[in-house]
């Protein structure tokens, strides 16, 4: 059973639909026992990092998530809260699993913010991204990004290289939305469920 963590950060429907299309069994929950017993855990999220961390704390989830030993996938904001901290909302300490800080893109006439649309993955190195073609494209929507670091398992360029995906032990994160990235995204979700 896969647990999708519900911490009141945006709509979970598209993640649920993507898992349903793959024929996976899942539940949507904030119950620490259910989360801990699950084979895989997905931490989605749309919104701001400060609100996301506040909601996780309110639900008593930070120690539960840090203590997980099964595969965990943070998506978009869910990936960002697995990082060390975020400058969104002033300065927000996050869960500290990935050794990266989250900063805002600075818009310029040539650089649109939010970074929205399909962009290429480079420097892919992880089982999570197995089977993807070089330069495969995935769908992004975000204004904040994690810099590249030793935990980076894929990069994307938007004004500068940033972490499109991160991994630390059993924790994975994607800045992009695999559930909205067509066949490429489906492959990534399949890879995650096979971990």
Partner 1 sequence: MVAKRIIPCLDVKEGRTVKGVNFVGLRDVGDAVELGQHYARSGADELVYLDISATREGRATFTKLVERISDGINIPFTVGGGISTLEDAARLLDAGADKISVNSAAIADPGLIDRIASRYGSQFLVLAIDARQGADGIWRATTHGGSRPSNKELFAWAREGQERGAGEILFTSMNHDGTKQGYPCDTFAALAEQLSIPIIASGGAGSVEDIAAVLTRGRADAALAASIFHFGEISIPELKAQLKQRNICIR
Residues that bind partner 1 (CB under 8 A): 10-11, 13-14, 17-18, 20-21, 46-48, 107, 109, 112-120, 137, 139-143, 157-158, 177, 179-183, 185-186
Nearest to 178 by CA among 18, 62, 50, 49: 18
**Bridge partner list, 152:** 166
Q: Which is nearer to partner 1, 97 or 164 (CB)?
A: 164
Nearest to 80 by CA among 143, 141, 146: 146
Cα 102 from chain centroid?
13
- Minimal distance, residue 119 CB to partner 1, in Å: 5
The catalytically annotated residue of 16, 40, 76, 88 is 76
**Is 149 known to be catalytic?**
no
**Is 76 known to be catalytic?**
yes
The catalytically annotated residue of 83, 88, 158, 179 is 179
H helical segments located in the chain = 13-21, 32-37, 49-58, 62-66, 77-80, 182-193
- Minimal distance, residue 51 CB to partner 1, in Å: 10
Residue 13 CB partners (closer than 8 Å, separation 6+): none
- Minimal distance, residue 26 CB to partner 1, in Å: 14
Q: Which is nearer to partner 1, 38 or 175 (CB)?
A: 175
- Minimal distance, residue 64 CB to partner 1, in Å: 26
- The residues annotated with a catalytic role in the active site are 76, 177, 179
């Amino acid at each position: 059973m896969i647990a999708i963590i519900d911490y009141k950060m945006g709509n979970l429907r598209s993640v649920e639909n993507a898992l349903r299309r793959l024929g996976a069994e899942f539940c949507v929950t904030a119950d620490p026992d259910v989360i801990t017993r699950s084979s895989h855990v997905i931490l989605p999220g749309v919104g701001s990092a400060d609100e996301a961390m506040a909601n996780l704390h309110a639900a008593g989830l930070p120690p539960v998530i840090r203590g997980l030993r099964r595969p965990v996938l943070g998506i978009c904001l869910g990936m960002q809260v697995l990082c060390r901290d975020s400058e969104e909302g002033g300065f927000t300490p996050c869960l500290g699993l990935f050794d990266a800080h989250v900063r805002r893109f600075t818009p310029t006439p040539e650089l649109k913010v939010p970074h929205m649309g399909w962009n290429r993955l480079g420097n892919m190195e992880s089982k999570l991204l197995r089977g993807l073609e070089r330069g495969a494209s995935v769908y992004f929507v975000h204004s904040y990004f994690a810099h590249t670091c030793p935990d980076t398992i894929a990069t994307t360029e938007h004004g500068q290289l940033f972490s499109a995906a991160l991994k630390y032990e059993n924790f994975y994160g994607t800045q992009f939305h695999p559930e909205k990235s067509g066949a490429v995204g489906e492959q990534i979700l399949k890879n995650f469920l096979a971990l």
